[in-house]
């Protein structure tokens, strides 16, 4: 076995192991993002967020299976498997680049849909118990209140109804630490309210997740290129090998 051929096989096997590890990372990130944002599906327009999550999970599963194909193809040196490995890597590489470009150009649209969804949640807080539950869970879990600030509640049906009935708590209790407002929550007395913007917290979480994804995708782009080079090297080396066929003369001597 030539040195170059041996090197290509070892490189391909190592890359296959890296693909397994990377696939695991992508699947873990995808599941984490899904569990994080799917809890607020009605108020965040989360189908815009779940879409890239679905892509992550799909790519992760494909990469895991691809690692198996690459490893088997390297050991057995089967041109069919190696060709499949290189082709699928090329497709994933192109898809990764396109997905990164789409995520960059449509990040504003995702942010806009998230803002609209959060305002929708506040507007329908009193007439939909599912939305009410999601808003309360979000505000308590993320220690935030309102879309941009707690003042967003002052334009809602909830606020107007409580103001008309002279109730002292004009903001949902989920806006307070521990879900309990111990004293009147009226304009000018906001010391117990969460001051963080829910929109800002949600956006930061999404950007942090996508930042990790972008870093992993960049590393994968390099790995994919190396994988394509190694698999193609094995394919072409195998094609270049001409098997020796011996012929026997009438006296039984090979020539």
Could you read off the pLDDT of 67-125 as tens digits, one per residue? 777 777 767 766 777 777 778 878 777 777 776 676 667 667 777 888 888 899 999 99
Strand, coil or helix: 127: coil
Q: Does the model's pTM come out above 0.75?
A: no
- What is the torsional sign of CA 70, 75, 78, 79? positive
Burial code (b: 16+ CB inside 10 Å, e: under 16) for 171-204 equals bbbbbbeeeebeeebeeeebebbbebbbbebbbe
In a domain, 105, yes or no: yes
Q: What is the mean pLDDT of residues 13-27?
A: 80
| pLDDT band of 64, cuts 50, 70, 90 | confident
What pLDDT is stored for residue 167 in this prediction?
Answer: 66
In a domain, 161, yes or no: no
In a domain, 144, yes or no: no
In a domain, 93, yes or no: yes
| pLDDT band of 1, cuts 50, 70, 90 | very low
In a domain, 243, yes or no: no
Question: How many domains are there within the chain?
Answer: 1
In a domain, 83, yes or no: yes
What pLDDT is stored for residue 122 in this prediction?
Answer: 92
- Choice between 116 and 37, residue whose per-residue pLDDT is larger: 116
- Choice between 20 and 169, residue whose per-residue pLDDT is larger: 20
CA distance linking residue 94 with residue 96, whole number of Å: 5
In a domain, 180, yes or no: no
**Extended strands (E) in 107-202:** none
What pLDDT is stored for residue 152 in this prediction?
Answer: 92
In degrees, to the nearest 5, what angle opens at C-alpha 81 toward C-alphas 57 and 18? 45
**Domain range for residue 10?**
3-110+200-238
In a domain, 47, yes or no: yes
Range of weakest confidence among 63-67, 121-125, 167-171, 239-243:
239-243
What pLDDT is stored for residue 147 in this prediction?
Answer: 92
CA distance linking residue 100 with residue 106, whole number of Å: 10
Tokens linked to 52: 């890239």
Q: Report the chain's terminal Cα–Cα distance, integer Å.
A: 24
């Amino acid at each position: 076995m030539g040195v170059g051929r041996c090197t290509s096989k070892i490189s391909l096997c190592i890359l296959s192991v890296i693909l397994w590890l990377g696939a695991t990372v992508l699947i873990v990130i995808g599941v984490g993002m899904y569990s994080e944002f799917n809890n607020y599906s009605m108020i965040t327009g989360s189908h815009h967020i779940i879409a890239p999550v679905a892509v992550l999970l799909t790519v992760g599963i494909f990469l895991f299976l691809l690692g198996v194909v690459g490893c088997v193809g390297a050991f057995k040196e089967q041109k069919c498997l190696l060709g499949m490995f290189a082709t699928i890597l090329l497709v994933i590489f192109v898809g990764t680049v396109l997905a990164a470009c789409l995520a960059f150009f449509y990040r504003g649209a995702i942010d806009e849909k998230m803002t609209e969804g959060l305002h929708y949640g506040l507007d329908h807080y009193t007439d939909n118990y599912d939305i009410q539950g999601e808003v309360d869970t979000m505000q308590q879990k993320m220690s935030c209140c309102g879309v941009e600030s707690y003042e967003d509640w002052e334009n809602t049906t909830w606020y107007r109804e409580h103001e008309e009935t002279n109730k002292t708590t004009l903001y949902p209790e989920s806006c307070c630490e521990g879900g309990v407002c111990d004293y009147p929550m009226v304009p000018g007395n906001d010391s117990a309210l969460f001051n963080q913007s829910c929109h800002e917290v949600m956006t930061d979480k999404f950007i942090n997740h996508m930042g990790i994804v972008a870093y992993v995708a960049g590393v994968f782009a390099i790995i994919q290129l190396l994988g394509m080079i190694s698999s193609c090297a094995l394919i072409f080396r195998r094609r270049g090998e001409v098997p020796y066929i011996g012929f026997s003369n009438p006296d039984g001597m090979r020539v």
